[in-house]
Amino acid sequence: MDDGIDPLVMGVRDRWEGQGLLGGPWPFMAICAVGRLNQLLTKALDVELKRLDLTRTGYFLLTTLALSNRGRARLSTLGRILMMHPTTVKLTVDQLETAGLVTRIPHPRDRRATLVEVTAAGRERANEVGEALEASGGELAPFGGKYRDIFEALQPARLAAGDVELLNPGGERNRELPDR
The confidence band for 171, taking pLDDT boundaries of 50, 70 and 90, is: very low
Q: What is the pLDDT of residue 121?
A: 97
Give the mean pLDDT of 58-75. 91
Q: What is the pLDDT of residue 163?
A: 82
Distant-in-sequence contacts of 96-105, Cβ < 8 A, 24+ apart: 96/58, 96/61, 96/62, 96/122, 99/53, 101/58, 101/62, 101/125, 102/61, 102/62, 102/65, 105/72
- More confident of the two residues 169 and 75: 75
Q: What is the pLDDT of residue 4?
A: 66
Distance CA 94, CA 87 (A): 10
Residue 124 has pLDDT above 90, yes or no: yes
Give the mean pLDDT of 12-41. 89
The confidence band for 101, taking pLDDT boundaries of 50, 70 and 90, is: very high
Alpha helices in 7-74 (DSSP H): 7-16, 26-51, 56-67
Put simply, whether the predicted model's pTM sits higher than 0.75 gets the answer yes
Residue 83 has pLDDT above 60, yes or no: yes
Q: What is the pLDDT of residue 3?
A: 60
Domain over 25-160 is classified CATH 1.10.1660.10: no
DSSP annotation of 170: T
Query: Which of 5-14, 30-39, 110-119 has the weakest average pLDDT?
Result: 5-14
Q: What is the pLDDT of residue 176?
A: 46
Q: Are 150 and 143 in contact (CB under 8 A)?
A: yes
Task: Calculate Rg over the CA atoms of the chain.
Answer: 20
Q: Are 100 and 36 in contact (CB under 8 A)?
A: no
Which sequence spans correspond to the domains of the chain? 25-160
Give the mean pLDDT of 43-65. 94
Residue 9 has pLDDT above 80, yes or no: no
Q: Is the Cα torsion angle 15, 21, 24, 28 positive or negative in sign?
A: negative
Give the mean pLDDT of 4-28. 83
